[in-house]
Amino acid sequence: MGPGRGAPSRTAMMQQRAEQRRRDEEDIVEMRRLLGEISGQTMDEEAMETFSRALAEETGALPPPHIVVDAIRESQSADARKIGDAVRAYYRRRRPRPQPQPQVGPPQQQPAEAEPEPTPAASDPAPAASA
């Protein structure tokens, strides 16, 4: 894609990544606060590493921080199994699907089976004569 075709510039991509890292860092701080509040323990680096390993083992991979924060809030637990259940529930929820855009070109023809058949039946006298 060329510059005028909507491809993001290198600078824009770097800004997006920096913004995503900032959001992830904020979510990790919130995750640490929630876990500490719920468990009643200080969530230092070692405790966070232990929690992250347990959650990754429970879910198969460490989910994005914002999903973990939502799962902690929903489960109201510091237990990796319960948080893992909430993470799985998050991914099973129905989410609105994007609506198809109206087509600008000529309308598509319907398949032959979808068309009404009164014209062929009216021109065929054999079924009418046998009835």
pLDDT, position 8: 79
- Interatomic CA distance for residues 28 and 65, integer angstroms: 6
Domain ranges, ordered by start, for the chain: 12-92
pLDDT, position 7: 76
pLDDT, position 108: 58
- Interatomic CA distance for residues 16 and 28, integer angstroms: 18
pLDDT, position 65: 96
- Interatomic CA distance for residues 17 and 80, integer angstroms: 28
CA distances from 14 to 22, 35, 50 (A): 12, 31, 31
Q: Write out the chain's pLDDT in tens, 131 residues.
A: 445 567 779 999 999 999 999 999 999 999 999 999 999 999 999 999 999 999 999 999 999 999 999 999 999 999 999 999 999 999 998 777 777 776 665 555 555 555 455 555 444 555 555 54
Please state the pTM of the whole predicted model: 0.65
- Interatomic CA distance for residues 61 and 23, integer angstroms: 20
pLDDT, position 94: 74
pLDDT, position 93: 83
Retrieve residue 3's tokens: 């510059």
pLDDT, position 96: 74
pLDDT, position 131: 46
Specify the DSSP class assigned to residue 128: H
pLDDT, position 1: 47
| Residue from 67, 76, 75 nearest 95 by CA | 67
pLDDT, position 113: 52
